[in-house]
Structures are given as structure tokens and as C-alpha cells.
Amino acid sequence: MRSRRIVMSILTFVLASVLVLAGCSKNNSGSSNATNSTPNTGNSGSEGSSGNSGGSSDSKLEKWGLDENLRFKETRKITVEIYDRGNDGGTPPEDNFYTDYIKEGMLRDHNVEVEFVPVPRWTEGEVINNLLAANQAPDISVTYSYPTIQTYANMGGVLDLAPYLEEAKDILPDLWDLLTDTNIYWDQDPKTGTIWALEARLAVLNRINTFVREDWLKKLNMEAPTNLEEFENMLKAFRDNASLLLGDQADKMIPFAISFDVGWRADHLTTSFVPDDITDKDLFVYGFDDRKFLLPNYKEAIRVLNKWYHEGLIWKDFSLYPAGDPTEDNLMKAGYVGAFIHNWDYPYRNGEDSIHASLQRMVGPDAAFVAIETFPNDAGVYRKFLSPPIDRKIFFPATNKEPIASLLYLNWISKFENRFFLQFGEEGVTHEKMPDGSYKALAATGEKIMNSPNNIDYTITVNGLDLGDPDLTVKSIANGYAGVDKRYIEIAYQASINEGRVGKNVNVGEIKAENGVGQALKEKRDTVLNKAIVAPVSDFDKVYDSGFEDYLRSGGQAIIDERKAKWEEFYGDKTMLD
């Protein structure tokens, strides 16, 4: 019965999300007043529209060099960014079974040759900065950092997509159906009408979960903790019963694991310290850091981590390993970790190489992490700050000489049958169809292995499954974890969205103070959090406060001030959005 209630809750949430996304639209009537000149739309030398979509369809196709089937009469070439995750046992991200599928399809359908340019996933912000500075960024580029795009747009290094989107809308039906006006116009400047990037659609809003070893709780005859005090007592029980739980490897005990990215890996804890009545205005003004570093009472959550660190409850080496390093995951797989906070389905990812599968091989069939809700806020709510329905930002550098071919590429990968194949692959090889009509992913090896979950690095216009039917989508998501009891997925899915607050679009145009400081502020934030956790308890306030003030002096305060002014310019004395 409980599983049935969980599934019904999941379906209700997903259906509501779909209806909200379908019903939301953004005013796109603003005309583009970009200061950089509009480059050629193709080899013919003709220019893009200045914002007027007049002209017959035939004349536009002729101008772009397209025939009536939307194939270029002369072969065009584009480059596309692809993340390189450095997966052991993976395939070259720029040359594999799935890139061949895309290349063959684009050449067949549009006479466009595609070349993939690999960019390291874990340093993508730095690398895309360098490529843009050197005028070597791929024609279709992707980043999670909008300020990076804005910085180069201000220097004339990024194309304004607004005129192209307006004129070419009728040849991009699949792109529009998937993203809708909401994501296409999400970043449109309310004054100039410029669009420097498209926001990919985040199809599943699940974000983060808190996980604990279910088998350890049973062995210690403990219930899952439901508040901060109980969670701390659980960690102490893990520490104090290390010999019982780990035997002769008791010295390897790690009650609670975090990483150098404290803001992400302590999210549920830090969120619980934020007052439940925080306004939309304050979330906008102080929420520009994606780890919520500037929200009220954040410091007190880090104080808890400082205390736990000195009580032997936190992994001592958490700050030593960079993004992508497998050390922490290997400790989880070996069975030494009792609890952690991470991506909503993190222990169940990657099939036979998942934490879940590895743990059961190493420890036994009962060993497993289960998602829990354990950090209520001041209102007793297990609040989660969920993402708005946006994901990666897709943009075209000014060096892109084929914007129409590039838009057709985005439309091609947004077409349902193409993204379905990229997400599921071949039936009987990488997926099977279940009796209820849902789809189940199969672990693949060799050339057909996927380097990222559901190939999200190739489906850059969408992150997460969207099968057009909410019920089918949720069932297929639950099927997608080889060797994992569906119960764990259902619990994790529901826990990650329960009592969530979905982000809203506050469109006030460019925040100039954010330009060029994003990476530096990110590094300062990570540094102060790492230092504050390991600082002597007596020095915590001094270390935290000095690092926080340095963050503000280095651009944080200027961003706060400009965001506050922009909010008041567009929304007056309102503190909440409709």
C-alpha cells in the first residue's frame, strides 16, 4: 500500500509539472536590438532577419540554401561540443556508435556534416572560457554558466539568436515542441530582446537526496532519523559501533561523507537552516550562487559540519580530491560510508559499476543505501529548493558561420524518435519493452555503452526522460536501474521532490556585476567552506567570516546590490511572484 501511495504521488507530481510547463509561456514580442552585427546565415552570404519574419517560406529556404525537404543544396559543416567524462570502460565521446547515429542522420536529413569537439565535463567552465577567448569554441556550445555566455556576448563573441529563431521558427517544430516558449525565451533580455542562449529542458526536477545505509540501521535496531538531532545520533552510533559494522576494518569507518563541493554535498542540511518564509525577492537577490551560499543561516549549517568533523563523524580527507576523482565513490562501494547527500539517484547509477551493485557484491545482498528525509526547517517542512525547468545553456559563438544548420541540428536531436533512440538505444541490446508498455534500460558494453545516463551529453536540449506520457515516463525511470529493487528508486524519487519549491524565472535582463567573476566566486566559496569545516572549533567564526567578507569584496556584494536594484526596477515593492 505504501508503494502504491508513493507511485501515485510521483505520477501526480510529474503530471502537474507537465501541465505547468505546457501552460507557461513567456512574452516574446520584444525585438532584438543587438549591438553586434548579424553574421551570414550560410555560404551564400545572405544576412539573417533583423527581427521581421516576413517573406514567403520558399524565399527563406532559397536564401538559406535549403530545398523543400530542408536539405542544404551544398553540404554544410558544423562543430558541436560534447562532454568528456573520462569514463573507465567508456567510448571516445566524439567518435562512437551514438555520434555515428547523429552524423549519419544529419547528413541524410539536412546534408550537414557534424564534428564533435570533446570538452572535459568537470572543468567545462574553464575550458569553454578558454575556447571562447581563443575564438575556437564549437559552433554549438554548451555550459551551465550563463554569466560566461553574457561576458562574451558583451564583447561581441556570441550570436544573438533572437532574429534567427523568429525567422526560422516554422522549420524548427520539434525544438519548439520540446522547449516551448518558456525555455526558448527564458533568457531573453526584457529591454533589448536579445537571446544569447537557449535553456535546455530539465524534464525531471529531482535534484538531491540524503542517503543512509539501510542495513546498518537494521543491524543497530535504529529507525531512520527524521530530524537533525536523530541524524547526528545515528552518525555517532555508526562511529561508536564501527567494529560491529565493519569488523576488522573498523578503522575505515566514515559515518558521513562529503566532498570538496560542500555546497552541493550538504544541500539538504544547509537548506533546512533557511527560513521557510524566505521571499522570492530574497531568493533572487541572494540566490545567484547555485549552492545557496548567501541564503540566511547558511553559516549555522556549516557550523554543524565543523562540529561533526571534529567529532570524527565526517570523512577526514573530503577536501583533498577534485571533481571526477573516484576515491570517495570507491569508499562507498567498499562499504565504509554510512551516509551522504548527493544527486537524487546517485548510488543506483551506472549499472554493474554502481555504488549499489558494488556494495552488494562486496558486503552482501542486504547492503544498500536508502533515501530519507531528515532535515526539517523552522516550519517543520522538509523543504527542497528545486530547479526551474531549465538545464544547460546552449549558445552559438560569433565564429559560428552556420546558424541555420546549427538550429536544424538542435531541432533534429529534439525530434522524439531521435532523442528516444539516443536515450534508449536499440531494443534488445540497450533496452527492452516491458509488458506495461514502459521501457527498461539494459547494461551495454562495447561500442553501444552510454557514457552518460540516458546519453544526456548528446540530448543537449533535454535532461531526463520525457516519453510524452507521464505515467509511462515514471515507470520507465523506475525501470532504468539494472539490478536495483524498484522500491529504492520510488522512495528516492518521491523524497527528492517532496515539499519542493520550484525556482521561478525572474527576468530582469543582464546583471553586469556577474560578468567575469563566476568562476572566481565559485572557487572562493568552495575554499571558505572547506577551511571553515576543518578549522578549530574556536576559530570557526573567524575563518568563516573572513572568507565570506572576501567573497563579498570580490564581487559578491556588487551582484547583490545590482540584483536588488533590478528587482525593484521591474517588480517594485513586490516580494513574491505570482
Per-residue pLDDT of the chain (578 residues; tens, 9 = 90+): 333 333 333 333 333 333 333 333 333 333 233 333 333 333 332 233 333 344 567 899 999 999 999 999 999 999 999 999 988 889 999 999 999 999 999 999 999 999 999 999 989 988 999 999 999 999 999 999 898 999 999 999 999 999 999 999 999 999 999 999 999 999 999 999 999 999 999 998 899 999 999 999 999 999 999 999 999 999 999 999 999 999 999 999 999 999 999 999 999 999 999 999 999 999 999 999 999 999 999 999 999 999 999 999 999 999 999 988 999 999 999 999 999 999 999 999 988 899 999 999 999 999 999 999 999 999 999 999 998 999 999 999 999 999 999 999 999 999 999 999 999 999 999 899 999 999 988 878 789 999 988 899 999 999 988 898 888 888 898 887 878 998 999 899 999 999 999 999 999 999 999 988 988 999 999 999 999 999 999 999 999 999 999 999 999 999 999 999 999 999 999 999 98
Q: Strand, coil or helix: what is 42?
A: coil
User: What is the rounded CA–CA span in Å between residue 317 and residue 309?
Assistant: 10
Q: Residue 186: which of 166, 207, 206, 200 has the closest Cα?
A: 200
Phi, then psi, of 497 in degrees rounded to 5: -115, -10
Asked whether 256 and 273 are in contact (CB, 8 A), the reply is: no
Asked whether 383 and 207 are in contact (CB, 8 A), the reply is: no
Q: Residue 297: which of 231, 228, 235 has the closest Cα?
A: 228
Asked whether 128 and 120 are in contact (CB, 8 A), the reply is: no
Domains of the chain (ranges; CATH) run: 22-204+391-420 (3.40.190.10), 208-386+506-571 (3.40.190.10)
Grid coordinates standing for 345?
A: 539517484
